[in-house]
Amino acid sequence: MPGRADPAAPAAPRARLNRGRVLVAAVALADETGLAGLSMRRLAQELGVVPMALYKHVADKEALLDGMVDLVIEGFDPPEEALPGIDAVRHRVLAARRAVRRHPWARQAIESRTRRTPTVLGHMDAVAGTLRAAGFSVDLTHHVMHALGNRIWGFSPELFDAPPEDGPAPTPQAQQAMAADFAERFPHVLEIALEATRGDLSGVGQGCDEDFEFAFALDLLLDGAQRLQRSGWTSPRR
């Protein structure tokens, strides 16, 4: 083996790893092999690196998945055309769908996420904002967001599943600052949360009235379906 050891390795000094490269490689690997085929070990191998090296760039596999989902969401086509009212919502949702469809694993991954990254909140805020711009009340916007469910993502996770529970308790002023930041970045999400909790955000963790939201969406669909049936609807044959 000494006859082989070239001190200045020729072609591939192997670019340094960083979070971005890890995430991109993970997305590519998942595209190829599906979520089930994505393991830390396999991913490391793909990057020509030892498994533990990944942990310098992502906290653990959950964080890796979070990052991958963010990457997909960032790939949502921006709504360049300024469409009127509800059509803007439709446009945005269909754009999300296109991005999600590019990655067959994305639906499952998004559904499994329990943390809400800023990127995820950003998308929800954008959809809510589009509904508000179309003249919807905060109240109605809220329930329609639930009803859209899957469709917001090209398929709806709950906004708040579990309390954030970071490590050490944040100081009051840090909390204040975070709240202000949140209000600025996600104003529409905030107004919905305020409406739903009647201004008492402390109870935001326990979520919405799921039974109500379920029935709301069900009735929206069934009423619409019945209207189609009465009008003798048939699907367009291509």
Examine residue 113 and tell whether it contacts DNA (CB under 7 A).
no
In the bound state with a second copy, the residue whose beta carbon lies nearer, of 171 and 235, is 235
Tell the smallest beta-carbon distance from residue 7 to DNA (Å): 10
Q: Which of DNA, a second copy, none sits in contact with 57, Cβ below 5 to 8 A by type?
A: DNA
State the binding partner of 147 from a second copy, DNA, none, CB within 5 to 8 A by kind: a second copy
Q: Tell me the closest approach of the beta carbon of residue 105 to DNA, in angstroms.
A: 13
16 binds DNA (CB under 7 A): yes
Q: Quick check: 53 binds DNA (CB under 7 A)?
A: yes
Of the candidate residues 44, 144, 189, 192, the single one contacting a second copy (CB under 8 A): 144
Neighbours of 94 (CB within 10 A): 13
For residues 209-238, which are near a second copy according to CB under 8 A? 212, 214-215, 217-226, 228-229, 233-235
Distances in Å between the Cα of 219 and the Cα atoms of 27, 85, 123, 185, 213 are 38, 23, 26, 33, 10
| Tokens 């996420």, located at residue | 113
Q: How far apart are CA 132 and CA 129, in angstroms?
A: 5
Residue 149 binding result from DNA, a second copy, none, given CB thresholds of 5 to 8 Å by partner type: a second copy
3-state SS class at 228: helix
Contact status, residue 153 vs residue 103, Cβ threshold 8 Å: no
The CB-of-123 to a second copy minimum distance in angstroms stands at 16
Q: Could you give the residue ranges of the DSSP H alpha helices within 169-209?
A: 172-185, 187-196
Q: b/e map of 34-61 (b: 16 or more CB within 10 Å)?
A: ebeebebeebbeebebeeeebeebbeee
Q: Rounded to an integer, what distance in angstroms lies between the CA atom of residue 99 and that of residue 3?
A: 50
In the list DNA, a second copy, none, the entry touching 52 (Cβ below 5 to 8 angstroms by class) is: DNA
Q: Which stretch binds DNA (CB under 7 A): 15-23, 131-139, 184-192, 221-229?
A: 15-23
Residue 51 contacts DNA per CB under 7 A = yes
Q: How far is the CB of 202 from a second copy (least distance, A)?
A: 19
Confirm or reject binding of residue 176 to a second copy (CB under 8 A): no
Asked whether 134 and 108 are in contact (CB, 8 A), the reply is: no
Rounded to whole angstroms, the Cα distance separating 180 from 172 reads 12
> How many contiguous H segments (helices) and E segments (strands) does the chain have?
10, 0
- Residues making contact with DNA (CB under 7 A): 16-18, 38-42, 49-53, 55-57, 60-62
